[in-house]
Amino acid sequence: MKQLWAPWRMAYIEASTKEEGCIFCTRFQSSDLRASLVLAQTPYTVVMLNKFPYNNGHLLLAPKRHEHELAQLPADDFADLNETLRRSVAIVRDVFQPGGVNLGMNLGRCAGAGIEDHLHWHIVPRWEGDTNFMPVLGETRVMPQHLLESYDRLKPLFQNLPA
């Protein structure tokens, strides 16, 4: 039998407290953006790595405005989000060279939203063969790159977003 070593998972397992407040409202205000996984901010949008990714380079984009209804998002906020989404996909493609990219958002718990109270979009890079038996049989997702290594590869390309 082969062993799968993922020592970075211990921090998740040992974490006994849930993060206070809304991650999309608080993380971009952190003094340590790298530890908070925040890659960039624009006037209306925050871009961060997903702390519990489906794949390496899995980004989350959210409006800075705490809103859960897409129809209630002001036009300026929505336009900024769309431009940031477009540019973020280009950055992910440039850095990771995936075969494809999944884009999506889950509106409501029954649609899969882990954080219902704040709109957010997912950008998930995909490669041929990136899914296998591990998540199904072993209930384990194999991540070939540490989050902070992904952060360090992405961060320089996000410097050109309007602040």
Enter the pTM of the model.
0.78
Residue 120 known to be catalytic = yes
| CA distances from residue 95 to 9, 27, 70, 113 in whole angstroms, order as listed | 24, 23, 30, 27
Q: Which of 68, 120, 122, 146 is catalytic?
A: 120
Q: Is 18-160 a CATH 3.30.428.10 domain?
A: yes
Distances (CA, A) of 106 to 95, 114, 115: 26, 8, 9
Query: 61 by DSSP, 3-state: which?
Result: strand
Q: Are strands 100-104 and 45-49 parallel, antiparallel or unpaired?
A: unpaired
d(CA 46, CA 39): 8
| pLDDT in single tens digits along all 163 residues of the chain | 555 566 656 665 666 556 678 999 999 999 999 999 999 999 999 999 998 888 889 999 999 999 999 999 999 999 999 999 999 999 999 999 999 999 998 888 887 777 888 999 999 999 887 664 444 444 555 556 678 888 898 999 888 777 6
